Structure 1
Amino acid sequence: MEERVCANCFRPLGPGNFCAYCGYDNSIDIAEDAAPLRRFSRLRGNRYIIGRVLGIGGFGITYVAQDTFAMDRRIAIKEYYPSGIARRDIWTQQISFGNYGNEYNIGLRRFEREANMLAMLRGGRAASVVQVYEFFYENGTGYMVMEYIEGHSLKELARARGGRIPYDEAYYILKELLKALETVHSEGVLHRDISPENIIIQPDGRLRLIDFGAARTAQSTGLTGNMIMLKPGFAPPEQYDAAGNQGPWTDIYALACTFYRLVSGVRVPDARERIQGQRVPLLHLLMPETVPEEVSNAIEKAMTLDPGGRYRSMSEFMEAIGTPDAPEGNEREGLIDRVKWIFKSVAKVTVLETGKTKSLKRDDVITVGRSEGCDLITMDNAYIGRVHCRIYFDADVQAVKVECTSINGIQTREGRTVNKGEAMTLYDEETTLCLANTESKIRVVYQ
């Protein structure tokens, strides 16, 4: 019998579905309409083993994978799979595209071109860009093999901190991204999809640009059609026009909108709404005690609707916001420490009768109940709710809370009952709770 392995880290998987090494719940699956490759499928002969889905976009599915020809290192593989066009045969895994052959092939050629562009940017001065190792065709589609990047997106970082990032950290991030994109542009490549979710901060504090799915060279490619997915609030007006005048100023607009969103917690209105007259408050008026007026003015110019009114290069943008030099080492170290603190586990939650455990992070919510959809599943007892309770970290009180969602309540050792709709704050280092006066108990231990 073949040994079971985790679909995230590829290490041996013991009884149950939770990985003892990385904590991944291997019972998590993707909706059928997404039609990803089967887990542990092999590509390129037997070289690449497909693991869990990392993300699904309008034009592709990204997987974590294992490279058996390179000491079993973890990698990421992006599969060209345009939503609404591609269909997968569940038995052969071959891709078909019906009557959309022209659109499919145009997009596939762009996808290959993206891989070739990123491969040319590998390492050196372009170290902030995700590295691409190779591109190949299989199953009637294309696959891009990339490095697997550990870390969290700026979107996750902002969410974990209540929706926004302190100005000094966002300013440091902006300067680092300006330098990274200046290098990318110097190679004749535009990103065209900059947003908080496409910027990763690694455990060592380095920032990495990912998902160049809309990337293109600054020169004409001879390809037609406007097959790109735009993010409202980040895409400038020229990206809504197939003949729009795109250049470095296109990425400048998106980067400025990203900074605005990170600092203020407010998303810039869609470019089409702005054309209709919707205004964007100046950052220094929105946050007068935090954002200097000169930086606010630079961001305003970078977000100008008319491409001709924006900065023409990242170096111009850098000059406008201040010195582009790297910050003092302690500033970067401080950011690294805060990122580690935000995303580290704050508690472990265990269902005592099964021994199943899940780590709780500051931006997590753990559901407990008898439904298979819960993060932690209890005994199958009718008195226990399908989702009996929710466990989460409350940043306002800096403590874990347990919210009851069942009419049968939660009982403490001291005899207190937490009724449906109520939440209990856990202050003790270790707390054991009884669900619905049954033998099913959960234990929450701070770490």
Structure 2
Amino acid sequence: MDEESTLNEFKTWIDERHPSQPEYLQATKEIAKDVIPIFCNNESYRRLNVFKRLCEPERIIHFSVHWLNDANEVEIHNGWRIQHSGLIGPYKGGLRFHPSVNESVLKFLAFEQSFKNALTGIPIGGAKGGSDFNPKGRSETEVMRFCQAFMGELQRHIGPHTDVPAGDINVGSREIGFLYGEYRKIHNRFGGSLTGKDISFGGSHVRTEATGFGLIYMLRAVLKQHKDEIKNKRIGISGAGNVALHAALKSVQVGGQVISLSNSRDCLIKEEGFSESAISWAIKNKAESDNILIDLCEHHGGDWHKDATPWQQPMDIALPCATQNELDKDAAAALLSNGCKYILEGANMPCTNEALDLIEEKGIPFVPGKASNAGGVAISGLEMSQNATFKRATYKKIDDALQDIMLNIHQQCVEAGTADGRVNYAKGANIAAFRRLADAMVAQGV
């Protein structure tokens, strides 16, 4: 079976199936180039058409959310749940509340989530959901009312053995609490229908830190693979949310020098590196701050760069942790010209295709989000297990398990992505995840 013609036929097919959905098309085509050769060389995969089937969400749920704001006005928002693949376990993936949320973004996230979850080794499928509601500037009562209205629609589609949402952008422990409270009232039972819950009612230790910490555990594994270490490395991080701040914290704790944090507007640079106490302060005060980076600058110093990103700065390691497609070809070129040696994605698909092409051409180690930021969903899976057994594991046990999971994902990438003495982490992650999903599909039939 000719691989090039198969890939070209797939691209035409996916364009026709999902027009005007650029994020979803970008995600599926990025994986296709790595897994089509595996597909073509496996008779069972070809016979059951597994790759195209994996590129079609099993279910797209779209609903309206009507709720009453503080001015006693009824507002209407869109809500979605994309249940992409339940092949290896209950659907699992976060909820995002942001004006940029649309079907294409959520489909890409759910698709990526399916591959990411397959890498964890935990029996969980892939999903994503959310709303175009923006909680910024809203009162706590308004956020609560919206969450309750959103869950009033979502609740009929989720459950511990069906679909277990978690948090994502703008959906933290407060929002998860409101969502879970409404689910519990409607169904009159306590269970693991959501993860990311507060520790006081079924949450897990390390869940808040997991994605950022896991990113650094993966980074250390990559450095060890390349006979390198993190000590005194200059690390550029974009974002100022949960992932970015906890990645920064763990980086400093293990000897790295974090020189940047950013938001959608501006960038904070600290040439000598942020201290552990400064990052801990930002984590503690973020919820009460309108712009935690401005406050961090005022309290702990640094150079404020308006309308800038971190990628023009000299650094050894780049960790894009903000949002999709934030690191473009020009940013990648700047990083590489300034001596960046490693790039690991903390966000989901933060590098554009053009940036990825340039990074691959230069041959520096690059780890995609489906591998490097899988720590969050891994701990969500462990929270599901704790809820099912009504037991809570200690912080150390969960943190040790997170390190083991990230090391296992690293090993899968190495085994599936090594050729001519070089590890292609993106290719390895795509192939390893695809094989697990494809084998499950073959075993379950049409």
TM-score exceeds 0.5: no
Q: In proportion to residue count, which structure has more strand?
A: 1
Q: Highest CA radius of gyration, 1 or 2? A: 1
Question: Normalising by the residue count of structure 1, what TM-score does the alignment of the two structures yield?
Answer: 0.29
